[in-house]
Structure 1
C-alpha cells in the first residue's frame, strides 16, 4: 500500500507517468491489468449467478438482513434464492437432530405452525429430521420459512429435499454464505449454524445430541445475546441441555410454542418502548 500511495502521488503530478521509474511503471501496469482481469471475472460470475436466479447480497447493501447486522460474525456476503423481506425480522430458528423421534417431529411441526400463526418466519437448515419438519409445517400453515445452507445455495443437501427447497424459494428464501460452484465440506455446517442464529431473534432446539449442530447453534445464539428455547423433553433427556439451562440466563425451558411467543412478544414490546423513548 505504501508503494501504491507513492506511485499515485507521482501520477497526480504527471498523469503520463513520465516521473515513474521503469520498475514502478512495470509494477503499476501489471497491477492495473490484474485489476481488469478480476473485474472481468467477477462480472462474468455475477452474470452466471443471475442466470441461475441467485441474488448476491452484501453486508453493505440496504436490504441485507437486519438481524444479521447485529451480530459480530455475520457473513459478508449472502447468496439468495427466493426473497428476504421486512417480515423476516420476526424470524425464529427451529432446529434439531437429523435422527428425530416421532415425538420430536410432532413437536417441531406444532411449534413451527404456531410461530407462523403469530407472524413469525421459521428458519432452519433443510436437513433431514427436525429441520424438514419445521420447514414443511411452516409452508403447510401458509407461512414464510428460510433455509440456511451448509453448502452453496444451488447444491441441495440432502437431495431428497429438492422439492421442499423449491417450495421454500416460492414462500421465503434459501440462503448460503458459500460461493456457488465452490466445493465445500463438513466444516461449513458450523458456519451455517452461526448464520442461522444471526438471522433469527431466537433459536428453539427440539431434539439434539451433545454433538449436534443444533447444540452449536444454541451456543452461538447465546454468544449473540439472543434467546434460546429448549424443549422440556430435550432438557429431560440431554445433560448438555440441563447444563445450558442452569448456566445461561438467556436459555429458557418450554413445553410449547405459546411460551415461546409470550417471551418473544414481551422482548419485542420492550424493544419498541426503548425505540419510542
Structure 2
C-alpha cells in the first residue's frame, strides 16, 4: 500500500479529519503505520477513543481504495493530499483544511488572488445580472472567481468569469464523480477549461444538505473575501460569510430592494459590518495593495507575477521577515496596518516567491 492509498483510506474513514490525522501522524509517523496500529495502540493516543480506534482498524479495511483511484483517473480527477506541494497554500492556512482535495482542472499559483461570489439559488433577475457583472469585471482585473456551482447566483458568477476569459473555481458539496445540479453539467465542463472543480468528498459522494456547510468553508478558504449578492435570512451564503469572518477574510454585500425577501440576508450582513458594495472599486479598495497589482491586459498579475516590482508597503513588510518565523499578528502590531492590508501584502510576497507561510499563520523569507 502506498502512502497516498493509506491516506485516502483514512480520509474515507468516519471521524478522521485533519486534526485527528495530525495527532495520529505525530504518534505513528506515516499513514501506513497508522493503519497498521492495533486498537490498543490507537486508544493509547490522547483524544482517540475506542469508537475511532475501531473505525481505523475495522472500517478502513472495508474501503475499496483501488476503485476510488481508478474512478478518479477515469474522470480526469487529481487527488491532492494535504502534504502535496500542489495543495493550495491559502487553504492550508484555515483551521480545518481537508485532508484530501479532489481537483478536476487546474489550480494555478495566481489563483490565490481570488474572490468568492455567492448568493441565493432562488433569486431575481437583478441578482443574476449583478453576480455575472461583478464576476466578469473582477475576472478581467485578474481575480479568480470562487463559487459553489449551485443554481442561481453561483452559476451566474461562474458564467461571468468564463465570459471574460477569466479564472474560476467551483467547490462542490458532492464527489466529482457526481455532478450536481445536473442542469449545470455543461457549465461544469466550461469551468474545468477555465479553472477547476474542487471537492473534499470521495468520488461517489452524493449531494446532501449536510455537505454544504463544510463545503462553504472551502469557498471562503480559497478566497481573499466573500461577496454576497442576494440572500434570504436562511440562505447558505450567510454560512459562507460567517466562515469568511472566522477565517479573517473580508465580507462584502450588494444591497437590494427593501421589499425583496432575497435582500434581507445581504442587508443583515451590511448592518453587522459587511462592506456595502455598489461598484468593483469598492472591493478593490478593501483589498489594499492587491488592487495596485490587478490591471487589465498583458501586465495583469495573473499573467506574470514576476513582472511586479515591490511597492513601499511590500518593502515595509518584507523588511520585517527573516529566517525566523514571524506571526501575522506581530506584523500587524508593528506596522499598524489593517489586517486585510497585511494579509493581501503577504499573499503578494508569497506569489513573488519572497515569503513563505508556515503553520499557524507564521511567515518567513522564502
Same fold (TM over 0.5): yes
CA distance in 2, matches of 1:244, 1:206: 11
Residue 122 of structure 2 corresponds to residue 99 of structure 1: yes
Check conservation: 1:123, 1:148, Cα contact below 8 A: yes
Q: Is the Cα contact below 8 Å between 2:255 and 2:267 reproduced in 1? A: no
Please give the secondary structure, in 1, of the residue aligned with 2:256. helix
Q: Which residue of 2 aligns with 1:75?
A: 98
Note the C-alpha offset of 1:267.
Answer: 6.0
Q: Deviations over 1:212-268 (max 9, x none)?
A: 1111100110011100001122789645544433444xx211112121122114467
Query: What is the CA–CA distance in structure 2 between the aligned matches of 1:272 and 1:225, rounded to whole Å?
Result: 23
SS of equivalent to 1:232: coil
Describe the SS at the equivalent of 2:203.
coil
**1:220 paired residue among 243, 247, 260:** 243
Alignment gaps of 5+ in structure 2: 1-23, 29-56, 293-312, 321-366
Which residue matches 2:269? Answer: 244
Secondary structure of 1:174's aligned partner: strand
Determine which structure has greater relative contact order: mean sequence separation of CA pairs < 8 Å that are 6+ residues apart, divided by chain length.
1
Alignment-derived partner of residue 275 in structure 1: 318
CA contact (8 A) 1:80 1:175 kept: yes
Structure 2 equivalent of residue 49 of structure 1: 72
| TM-score using structure 2 length | 0.61
Matched-pair contact (CA < 8 Å) for 2:112–2:223: yes
1:236–1:40: structure 2 CA closer, same or farther, 3 Å change rule? Answer: closer
Deviation at 1:161, TM superposition (A): 0.6
Query: Is 1:127 matched with 2:150?
Result: yes
Q: Which has the larger radius of gyration?
A: 1
- Contact map agreement 1:207 1:234 (CA 8 A) in 2: no
Query: In terms of mean alpha carbon deviation, does 63-72 or 267-276 score higher?
Result: 267-276
Question: Alignment length, in residue pairs?
Answer: 245
The aligned residue for residue 180 of structure 1 is 203
- After superposition, the C-alpha distances for 1:62-103 in whole angstroms (9 at most, x for unaligned) are 111122111102211111100111111001100101111111
Cα distance in structure 2, aligned partners of 1:80 and 1:165 = 12
Tell me, yes or no, if the aligned pair for 1:208 and 1:234 is still in contact at 8 Å.
no
Report the secondary structure of 1:233's partner residue. coil
Alignment-derived partner of residue 159 in structure 2: 136
Which whole-Å CA distance do the structure 1 matches of 2:210 and 2:76 have between them?
Answer: 26
Q: Is the 1:58–1:78 contact (alpha carbons within 8 Å) kept by the matching residues of 2?
A: yes
Looking at structure 2, the residues matched to 194 and 168 of structure 1 have their Cα atoms a distance apart, in angstroms, of 20
Select between 123-132 and 57-66 the one with higher mean Cα deviation.
57-66
Q: Which residue of 1 aligns with 2:254?
A: 231
Deviates further, 170-179 or 262-271 = 262-271
Question: Within 1, Cα distance between the matches of 2:82 and 2:257?
Answer: 35
> Aligned pair in 2 of structure 1 residues 157, 234: CA closer, same or farther (>3 Å)?
farther
Name structure 1 gaps, 5 residues minimum.
6-33
| Pairing partner for 2:230 from 207, 213, 217 | 207
Q: Which residue of 2 aligns with 1:151?
A: 174
